Amino acid sequence: MSLRKAYLLIFIILLVDQVSKIYIKTNFVLGEEVNVLSWFKILFIENEGMAWGTTIPGEYGKLILTVFRIFAVFGIAYWLYDASNKRESTYLITAIALIFAGATGNIIDSIFYGVVFDDSSHNLATLFAPEPYGSWFHGKVVDMLYFPIIDGHFPSWFPFWGGNEFKFFNAIFNVADVAISTGVGILIVFNKKAFNK
């Protein structure tokens, strides 16, 4: 895959990611849910940290996370450029482009959303709000895709979790997360083809 095609893939993913996030942020109240299918819901949440809402504690935790992500994206960008120049496999270049696009999409939220949106807790958020909810590098990542495919309870005899509720898949994510996961999946599943082993 040429670098030009990789850029096009990145652009399309970023466009879909940001349009979907802005739409959700300006049309849903935080926590609002729409059932698309019994196993697919649109559920608006905001994530202040990493996967599954994991945060770095302290006053500077979010800033540290955002700056780390920025450095990581520069590293991924270099990896993409280098792989393209070395004419590496299409599998590898596609995977890197997907990971780069996803990481960049979530960084856009972290850097800018705190200064361009107001709070979503009780009202619809306003884009370019006069009183934004945060500051630079302290934005919350918008998540909305929810697939609770299996929703039930563990049998009472089940060790440790007997009788507890069980949901698969309980993570709520966004288009950027899908891109990252797909890119990593390509590297794992097609490892030999990606790295020409």
DSSP β-bridge partners for residue 145: 42, 173
DSSP states along the chain: --HHHHHHHHHHHHHHHHHHHHHHHHHS-TT-EEEEETTEEEEEEEESSSGGG----STTHHHHHHHHHHHHHHHHHHHHHHHHHTT--HHHHHHHHHHHHHHHHHHHIIIIIHHHB---SSS---BT-SS-SS-TT-PPEEEEEE---EEEE--TTSTTTTT-EEEES--EE-HHHHHHHHHHHHHHHTHHHHTT-
- In this predicted structure, what is the pLDDT of residue 76? 98
Cα–Cα–Cα angle for 141, 68, 49, rounded to 5 degrees: 30
- Give yes or no: 177 in active site: yes
Cα–Cα distance measured from residue 139 to residue 108, given in angstroms and rounded to the nearest whole number? 9
CA distances from 136 to 41, 49, 117, 178, 179 (A): 31, 15, 11, 25, 25
Q: Quick one: pLDDT at residue 74?
A: 98
Q: Measuring CA to CA, which residue among 99, 100, 96, 102 is closest to residue 195?
A: 96
Confidence at residue 178, expressed as pLDDT on a 0 to 100 scale: 97
Q: pLDDT digit of tens for each residue in the chain (197 aa)?
A: 889 999 999 999 999 999 999 999 999 999 999 999 989 999 999 988 766 666 677 778 888 889 999 999 999 999 999 999 999 999 999 999 999 999 999 999 999 999 999 998 888 999 998 999 999 999 999 999 999 888 888 888 988 888 888 888 889 999 999 999 999 999 999 999 999 85
SS (H, E, C) 152-165: EECCCCCCCCCCCE
Q: Is the pTM of this model over 0.75?
A: yes
At 112 the pLDDT is 96
Q: Please identify which of the residues 17, 109, 118, 143 carries the catalytic annotation.
A: 143
What integer pLDDT is reported at residue 170 of this predicted model? 85
User: Which is catalytic among the residues 17, 109, 118, 177?
Assistant: 177
pLDDT value at residue 52: 60
Task: Check residue 62 and give its pLDDT.
Answer: 84
**34, 66, 121, 144 from 129: Cα distances, Å:** 25, 22, 15, 22
Q: Which pLDDT score, from 0 to 100, does residue 162 have?
A: 85
User: Which pLDDT value is given to residue 50?
Assistant: 66
